[in-house]
Amino acid sequence: MRRLFGAASLFYYPTGIERNKFLLVPPENHPIRRCSCAALCYTLAADGASKRAACRERKRILPKEYKGTHMTSQHIEQASLTTNEVDQADSRTYDNQSARKKLPISTMTVIGITSICTGLQFLYPSVLAALRRNPDALAAGEWWRMFTPLLVHDGGLGHFAYVLVGLIIVGLTVERLFGSWRWLLLYLAGGLVGEIAGYAWDPDGAGASVAMCGLMGGLFIWLLRRRESLSLLVALYLVSLVAALSGAVIGGLIPVILLCVLASSAIFWMFKLHVSSHIIRYSVSFFGLAGALFLLLFHDIHGASLLAGASVAVLLFWVNPHLRRYL
């Protein structure tokens, strides 16, 4: 048992700690005892994913005032680990792993409904007119036009294609991180704020890109708050979309292509040169949030949606500072 705790303490306190000198042992009759349960689960974990999950469990349980304190081996008897405590912590570890494998219900549902409505608009053009933004119809009492523009796309097949790709790339990532109901909250917040801004700045339009920007805004905040690895595909899509929207605000096709090439090349070479993941995450996040402010300055509705998603994510972290996957 002492060897198990010694190995666990080396992981949690990796600098200046010797295996036999300091052990992860909490004082008796104190909530800090529960962290030793997660430490044991880490030591017994079979793969890296289980170890990371047990590490997060220990960090969540351990109070801030006791982090970084080291107990000597003479207090090992005070741990009083029971089989039930170990089983409970181990079950939380594997529950977290199984949660990652859940189907992305929200992403699949939204993609399905949006695809059906957009497909109908190509077959029956009256569908687009019935669902798109219309200030006169909204003033006449058709309140549902605050949300129905998210179901159709006035830019044709190309507009729908890049939104669909974004929902697959960004949507799946956000739902894996935040969970299904938080995904819907970010999506609807970005969509609602985007439609409100649309009635003020672009009263005749439609598209789900504003709702997708809500997901992107939430992802930018997550990357700032959590040590989450970011794939090259997701990073390229995030920066290229923000760059394309910013170039469109400037005007002309040349700024769009130039900004997309510069931003995508920078991210690609950061991955190619094995730059620290922290630098990549912060670069993508700051670029996205700076682009949102730039878009908002020029009255682009996507900037409002990006900031709306970011604001909702900040609120979620404030309500639950230990926000993790599928809590």
Report pLDDT for 54.
Answer: 55
β-sheet bridge partners, residue 23: 71
Report pLDDT for 226.
Answer: 78
pLDDT band at 7 (very low <50, low <70, confident <90, very high): very low
The full set of domains in the chain, from first to last, is 2-100 (no CATH), 105-319 (1.20.1540.10)
Count of CB atoms situated within 10 Å of the CB of 82: 10
Q: Which tens digit of pLDDT belongs to each residue from 243-279?
A: 999 999 998 899 999 999 999 999 999 999 999 989 9
Report pLDDT for 32.
Answer: 45
Place of tokens 């670069």: 283
Q: Which tens digit of pLDDT belongs to each residue from 72-106?
A: 444 444 444 444 444 454 444 444 444 445 789 99
Count of CB atoms situated within 10 Å of the CB of 294: 16
Mean predicted confidence (pLDDT) in 209-213? 96
Mean predicted confidence (pLDDT) in 279-290? 95
Contact 132, 206 (CB under 8 A): yes
Report pLDDT for 53.
Answer: 59
Residue 284 has pLDDT above 60, yes or no: yes
Q: Which tens digit of pLDDT belongs to each residue from 115-151?
A: 999 999 999 989 999 999 999 999 999 999 999 999 9
321 phi/psi in degrees, rounded to 5: -60, -20
207 phi/psi in degrees, rounded to 5: 150, 150
Alpha helices in the chain (DSSP H): 2-12, 34-44, 48-61, 83-100, 105-123, 126-131, 135-139, 156-166, 172-178, 180-201, 209-225, 232-250, 253-272, 277-297, 301-319
Closest to 303 (Cα-Cα) out of 221, 228, 246: 246
| Tokens of residue 49, six digits | 């994913």
| pTM for the full predicted model | 0.70
Residue 61 has pLDDT above 90, yes or no: no
CA 291 – CA 298 distance, rounded (Å): 11
Q: Which tens digit of pLDDT belongs to each residue from 306-323?
A: 999 999 999 999 888 766
| Tokens of residue 134, six digits | 């219309």
